[in-house]
Amino acid sequence: MEIVASMVKELREKTGAGIMDCKEALKETSGDFKKAVDFLRKKGIAAAEKKLGRAATEGIVSSYIHPGGRIGVLVEINCETDFVARTDDFQKFVRNIAMHIAAATPKYIKREDIPADVLEREKDVYRGQAEEAGKPEKIFEKIVSGKMEKFYSEVCLLEQGYVREDKVSIKDLLTDQIAKVGENISIKRFARFHLGEG
């Protein structure tokens, strides 16, 4: 199948990938648009993983105030260059993350950020629940492990399902953004304020 400029243009507009990458994706998939999008995503995710070790010292601090003024979020998201930090795409990504934090109430960015005493307390509660339910002791750890995974997906920002598309995790969203801009991006810190709390 011949790959024409209009096909490349359409794929480029949908994915934000470079012209040559779009052309290669369409060639590799014999012009199948859906497969070409997947091809670019896989290629982008692989490239994104290579970028994770690079220093991200630029970026922006952004705020989001939920209508009604009862919930507010401050978030710092870093990238490698101020050029990327100033793009509409990056700023939209940061705003979406801030809105997600307002809606989903994460407590930590990743599971490694959770203090050891909090983890132990959760595990004790889950062990106690398994005991109360009369479960055999030999499966306690399996039960605790399963409940801990659910706990992580509720309190860790990167493991939460994105509020606008819950089948996509925030980590997936971040990886896609890294692939799109070609730079390492990291969610550095956030603070969520709820009127009357705390």
Q: Is the pTM of this model over 0.75?
A: no
pLDDT band with cut points at 50, 70 and 90 for residue 49: low
40: Cβ–Cβ under 8 A, 6 or more apart, which residues?
A: 11, 15, 17, 21, 22, 25
Helix (H, G, I), strand (E, B) or coil at 93: helix
Q: Judge if 127 and 141 occupy the same domain.
A: yes
- What is the rounded distance in angstroms from the CA atom of residue 62 to the CA atom of residue 75? 5
For position 140, what pLDDT does the model report?
A: 81
Percent of the chain past pLDDT 90, that is, above it, reads 47
- What is the rounded distance in angstroms from the CA atom of residue 148 to the CA atom of residue 131? 16
Q: Judge if 94 and 161 occupy the same domain.
A: yes
78 and 185 Cβ atoms separated by less than 8 Å: yes
CATH code of the domain covering residue 141:
1.10.286
Q: Characterize 140-157 residue by residue with b for buried, 16 or more Cβ atoms within 10 angstroms of its Cβ, and e for exposed.
A: beebbeebeeebbeebbb
pLDDT greater than 60 at residue 146? yes
For position 30, what pLDDT does the model report?
A: 85
90 and 187 Cβ atoms separated by less than 8 Å: no
Q: What is the pLDDT of residues 148-196, one digit of tens each?
A: 999 999 999 999 999 998 889 999 899 888 888 888 899 999 999 999 8
For position 37, what pLDDT does the model report?
A: 76
Edge to edge, the sheet with strand 71-79 lists: 58-65, 71-79, 186-194
The better pLDDT of the pair 90, 30 is held by: 90
Q: Judge if 64 and 96 occupy the same domain.
A: yes
Q: Judge if 104 and 170 occupy the same domain.
A: yes
Q: Judge if 82 and 172 occupy the same domain.
A: yes
Compute the half-sphere exposure of residue 180: CA atoms within 13 Å on the CB side of its CA.
19
57 and 80 Cβ atoms separated by less than 8 Å: yes
CATH code of the domain covering residue 179:
3.30.479.20
- What is the rounded distance in angstroms from the CA atom of residue 50 to the CA atom of residue 39? 17
Q: How large is the angle between the packed helices 33-51 and 5-15, nearest 10 degrees?
A: 50
For position 16, what pLDDT does the model report?
A: 63
Q: Which amino acid is at 177?
A: Q
Last residue of a domain, one of 51, 68, 83: 51
**Least confidently predicted of 40-54, 103-117, 135-149, 164-178:** 40-54
Q: How many domains does the chain have?
A: 3
Residue-number span of the structural domain to which 17 is assigned: 5-51
Q: Judge if 85 and 168 occupy the same domain.
A: yes
